[in-house]
Structure 1
Amino acid sequence: MAGKLLSLLPPALLAAAGLAGLLLLCVPTRDVREPPTLKYGIVLDAGSSHTSMFIYKWPADKENDTGIVGQHSSCDVRGGGISSYADNPSGAGQSLVECLDQALRDVPRERHAGTPLYLGATAGMRLLNLTNPGASANVLAAVTQTLTQYPFDFRGARILSGQDEGVFGWVTANYLLENFIKYGWAGRWFRPRKGTLGAMDLGGASTQLTFEAASPAEDPASEVPLRLYGQQYRVYTHSFLCYGRDQVLQRLLASALQPPVAGDFIAFSAFFYTVDFLRTAMGLPVATLQQLEAAVVTVCNQTWSELQARAPGAGARLPNYCPVAMFVQQLLSRGYRFDEHAFSRVTFQKKAGDTAVGWALGYMLNLTNMIPADPPGLRKATDFSSWVALLLLFAALLLAALVLLLRRARPAKSPSAI
């Protein structure tokens, strides 16, 4: 009888396995979103004194929502800005190769073809375009030729206006600090925006002041209607193209038309580097306009050997700190008309989190705003309690099989043992 039962064991186990499979198929499952992959974007900031490359990343299943896009990596191009290659346009394109090769490594290979690549040129190229349009066109053609040789989705090289530079810097600062209306995935929720910050940018050949105007500007051309994340903004922006000296500087600054500054401001780029030098290397207080003016006088009265002793790591920038600090002080007090109260609401900042503040991110956000989000990846999943029940069922089947095998392996008792 035992032999007969044991002979039925293999089909019984097969039947049990089939039954378990049917039960598994009948267990309710639900769709679970997989962790999102990342998308990337690359912006080359071709400034007057140098070019910087910024690589940004964001979850592929989201639009460019507030706080979602962040800086992945960056690279400073060696040499001067692309406008310095007016007599050697091919050198402008070649200068970008080292950083573009880094981008090939920083962006996953499978994302290369879908990664937008932009080059925006600012004041240096604006000046070159005014004085020598042919040379400007040749430089842009040379960098375009280089950029198109890479496997990224190249979206063009263009010269930004001072107004664009100011507005995009304002967008970057307020985006990173989450001051815009924020829409959730598929637009299912939102929260009101905070008050926006004004933005102040200072580069090698231009400076911009941008903020939401509480009253109409005296110069209508300085107002920019801007729509972001479903919200309409009226932004005032003013850009000085180049530095002046003495009376020329004072006349330039006095001619600026703008509404009164109000609210909080963030000052970045050379604003930050200059004030940071005064604070850290020189150890001077700059919490008020009066202290800033006194700090400028102190720096400009230093001998060269004294400056070198106090800031040994400043390198080639050391000779520029006196004139740039003087320009910053005059610009803030005479040009942008900050009084002591308004100046106390200015924060000098290089980054927000791990992302550099500047126009590049705002430029990319504006141009990629309509790129659709990738649908989220889905997979089937089983509730934990159902999974435990199936685990116990299979364990019971294995235990039963083991018991049967042990009984079969036990030798039968002989009659003489009775």
Structure 2
Amino acid sequence: MTLRYAQVVPALVLLLLGLIGILLLALSTSVIEKPPEYEYGIVLDAGSSHTSMYIYKWPSNKQNGTGIVTQHDECNVKGKGISGYAGVPGGAAKSLEECLQKAVQSIPKARHHKTPLYLGATAGMRLLEIVNTSESHRVLKEVGAKLKTYPFNFKGSTILSGQEEGAYGWVTVNYLLENFAKYGFVGRWLNPGKGTIGALDLGGASTQITFQTEVQTESPDTSMTLKLYGENYQLYTHSFLCYGQDQFLRKLLALLITTQGVSSGKVLHPCYPNGYVTSVNLEADVFSPCTEQYKPKNIDLKKDVTLQGTGNNQQCLSTVQKVFSFDKCNFSKCSFDGVYQPATSGKFMAFSAFYFSKSYVSALTNISDPRLMKMASQRVCNMSISQMTTITKQPEKYMKNVCAVSNFIHVLLTQGYGFNNSTLPMISFEKKAGGASVGWSLGYMLSLTSHLPQESVSVLKAIPSGPWTGLLILFSALLLMALVQLVLLCRKSKSKMDVI
């Protein structure tokens, strides 16, 4: 009896091991799911002059709560910005269709329903909100309804504040340059960060300046705190509405027209190339919410006015300076128009229209040193429109404004923001960094990923197919051995009983 028990126990142990092993392997295939390699997010940057779509991706695991985001794809929407479709029902929504279809094809189908989709509108819609609130709401509602028809997780369409636009642009710049401490390991930073740099953004309707500062703010509406990768960043940030490139050019035209009058139907434009002639409509091309201060009384807005370029750099510069106000400041230090700003310090990146203007000027003059911007502007202003288009291979509609915009940037950076010959070389003019377009949308995505739910992943890891097959064979062999041993023991026991 004792011998029989000692023989049965090992067989039962093998049987139990085989059954448990096979059961665990079965559970590993049905319960444990391998997490997706990437998650995706879409941001539509609805600017004043056009809309761009950016698709971002990041690993499903995060560092300190913020996604490690890279640019996956992008698409420029054809036509004007969504604010330009005020009074045109269906126009703004329809303009987005081609790029949204590209997103459907670019993002893996299995990830569509989990991909967040955001639309952020900037200064163009901020202006429309001021002029016609109901139309602004209609455009946003229309666009939102269109975005909901796509297989993504639509999170909403909103108008960003100027502060948000500036701050998110700053985040983008510093993220792409790897200035943030990102990767933690056993309580220590593998990448402790390099120190942040400032961001200068120039859009169509507004311009932003943002930089990290330890100076106590004198104006709360120019201060913002962001938390990224477990660190707090205190920022100075301000957005100047109506000082974007397009609205500045309107203000310049309005100032010239108001100063010279329109009785003759012709206005001399010192910033246009000498001999260049074009015409503008006062209502469509000149006067806007940003130019109300220059609007003459009893003027016929339906009137067309002829503009004749004189290519006079000094007159151009002095007229551009009049667009700014430097004589009013209720703080210890101001930039312009009475806005508080502490002294700038450290490096800056200038992007968007800053980059394109600088690239045109460099191509026309072979001058790239920011300290020589005034000289470069003078050379550009002395060139004919044919010289400019021949050198750059760009159309007249862009080249006619290079003199004005280069002088504008010079005044904005030096007299406005306070850069000088010592600090101007600290500004780099860039279109991309780290393979991604520079703007506010990536910073926006980075901040939003801090709040996106991370997909749940089991603590156990799925067993690769090779080892899984080997274990299945092993446990099956144990089970078979146990069954064979038990059958033999039963037969042996039966034969003994027969003999008795």
Change in 2 beyond 3 A, CA 1:134/1:151: same
Stretch deviating more after TM superposition (72-81 or 253-262): 253-262
- Counterparts of 1:197-236 in structure 2 under 5 Å? 197-236=197-236
SS across alignment from 1:263: coil
C-alpha contact (below 8 Å) 1:250/1:334 kept by paired residues: no
- Counterparts of 1:91-102 in structure 2 under 5 Å? 91-102=91-102
Partner residue in 2 for 1:403: none
Partner residue in 1 for 2:462: 379
Partner residue in 1 for 2:52: 52
Partner residue in 2 for 1:293: 374
Partner residue in 2 for 1:139: 139
- Counterparts of 1:49-198 in structure 2 under 5 Å? 49-62=49-62, 68-184=68-184, 189-191=188-190, 192-198=192-198
Partner residue in 1 for 2:324: 250
Change in 2 beyond 3 A, CA 1:138/1:339: same
**Aligned equivalents of 1:312, 1:288: Cα separation in 2:** 23
Partner residue in 1 for 2:411: 330
C-alpha contact (below 8 Å) 1:274/1:325 kept by paired residues: yes
Between the aligned residues of both structures, percent identity stands at 46
**Aligned equivalents of 1:266, 1:201: Cα separation in 2:** 9
Task: Report the CA distance between 1:67 and its aligned residue.
Answer: 8.4
Stretch deviating more after TM superposition (243-252 or 87-96): 243-252
**Aligned equivalents of 2:114, 2:64: Cα separation in 1:** 15
Task: Report the CA distance between 1:125 and its aligned residue.
Answer: 0.6
Change in 2 beyond 3 A, CA 1:140/1:60: same
Which residue, out of 345, 355, 365, partners 2:446?
365
* Code of the aligned partner of 2:370: T
C-alpha contact (below 8 Å) 1:63/1:371 kept by paired residues: no
SS across alignment from 1:379: coil
Task: Report the CA distance between 1:155 and its aligned residue.
Answer: 0.7
* Code of the aligned partner of 2:367: P
Change in 2 beyond 3 A, CA 1:67/1:347: farther
* Code of the aligned partner of 1:73: D
Change in 2 beyond 3 A, CA 1:183/1:371: farther
* Structure 2 unmatched runs, 5+: 1-13, 243-247, 253-318, 327-334, 474-500
* Code of the aligned partner of 1:353: G
C-alpha contact (below 8 Å) 2:59/2:68 kept by paired residues: yes
**Aligned equivalents of 2:86, 2:431: Cα separation in 1:** 30
Change in 2 beyond 3 A, CA 1:372/1:349: same
**Aligned equivalents of 1:254, 1:109: Cα separation in 2:** 50
Task: Report the CA distance between 1:231 and its aligned residue.
Answer: 1.2
C-alpha contact (below 8 Å) 1:62/1:374 kept by paired residues: no
Stretch deviating more after TM superposition (216-225 or 234-243): 216-225
Stretch deviating more after TM superposition (235-244 or 367-376): 367-376
Q: Note the alpha carbon deviations across 1:186-229, whole angstroms, 9 max, x for none.
A: x8653433211100100011100000113223323201122222
**Aligned equivalents of 1:37, 1:55: Cα separation in 2:** 16
* TM-score normalized by the length of structure 2: 0.67
**Aligned equivalents of 1:217, 1:313: Cα separation in 2:** 44
Change in 2 beyond 3 A, CA 1:135/1:156: same
* Code of the aligned partner of 2:323: L
C-alpha contact (below 8 Å) 2:365/2:380 kept by paired residues: no
SS across alignment from 1:89: coil
* TM-score normalized by the length of structure 1: 0.79
Q: Note the alpha carbon deviations across 1:66-119, whole angstroms, 9 max, x for none.
A: 782110010000011111111103100110001001000001111110000000
Q: Note the alpha carbon deviations across 1:362-415, whole angstroms, 9 max, x for none.
A: 11222221223335582225999xx8xx9xxxxxxxxxxxxxxxxxxxxxxxxx
Equivalent residues, number:
367
SS across alignment from 1:87: coil
Stretch deviating more after TM superposition (75-84 or 291-300): 291-300
**Aligned equivalents of 1:233, 1:184: Cα separation in 2:** 18
* Structure 1 unmatched runs, 5+: 1-17, 391-418
SS across alignment from 1:341: coil
Task: Report the CA distance between 1:314 and its aligned residue.
Answer: 4.8
* Code of the aligned partner of 1:286: S
